[in-house]
Amino acid sequence: MSPRDLRGLVPPEPMEIILDAVDAATSGQRLSFVLPHFPGPLLPMLRDRMVRFDSEMLPDMSGVIFHVDIP
């Protein structure tokens, strides 16, 4: 599934979308989002939810792909 592009949204809209998606996801699911930059403020809230995450830079450097793995 292609990652959901959240680059046109102003904070905290992308954070709300990601947190809602994480809360609604099922075990073993991998969620991916395209963001304009690394989502620093989101990390403590993801850690609280015990999910794993990683990121990679887009090839044209215009943003990052942020992956969340639901345990």
Partner 1 sequence: MQAIPSYDSAPPLDLPVRFFMAAWLWLLLLAGAWHGTADGSYPSPGLWLPLHLLALGVLGNVMLGALLQLLAVVSALGFPRPAIWRYGLWGSWQIGCVALFSAFAGGLDAFWLQLASLAFAVAGGMLAWLWWLLWRSPAQDSSSRGLRWALGFLLLTLGLGIAQLGVLGWGQPWPLLTLLPLHRLAAQGWVWLLLVAVAQVILPMFLLTPALPGWWQRWAAPGWGGLLLLAGALSLRWPDGGWWWLAALPLPLLALVWWRALRQGRRPQEWLPGYWRLALGLLLALCVAFVAGQWLDGAVLRRLQGWLLLGGVALTLCVGMLYRIVPFLLWLQLRRGVKPQQKVPSLQVLLPEARARRGWQLLCLWQLAGVLWCLWPALWWLPAISGSLLAAALLVHYRAAWLRWRQGTQPVVKAEVASG
d(CA 35, CA 8): 9
| Least Å from the CB of residue 70 to partner 1 | 12
Total of chain residues touching partner 1, rule CB under 8 A: 20
Residues 8-67 that bind partner 1 (CB under 8 A): 8, 10-12, 15-16, 19, 23, 36-38, 40-41, 43-45, 48-49, 62
Exposure string for 10-49, b = 16+ CB within 10 A, e = fewer = eeeebbeebbeebeebeeeeebebbbbeebeebeeebeee
Closest CB 2 distance from partner 1, rounded Å: 20
Place of tokens 């959240």: 6
| Residues near partner 1 (CB under 8 A) | 7-8, 10-12, 15-16, 19, 23, 36-38, 40-41, 43-45, 48-49, 62
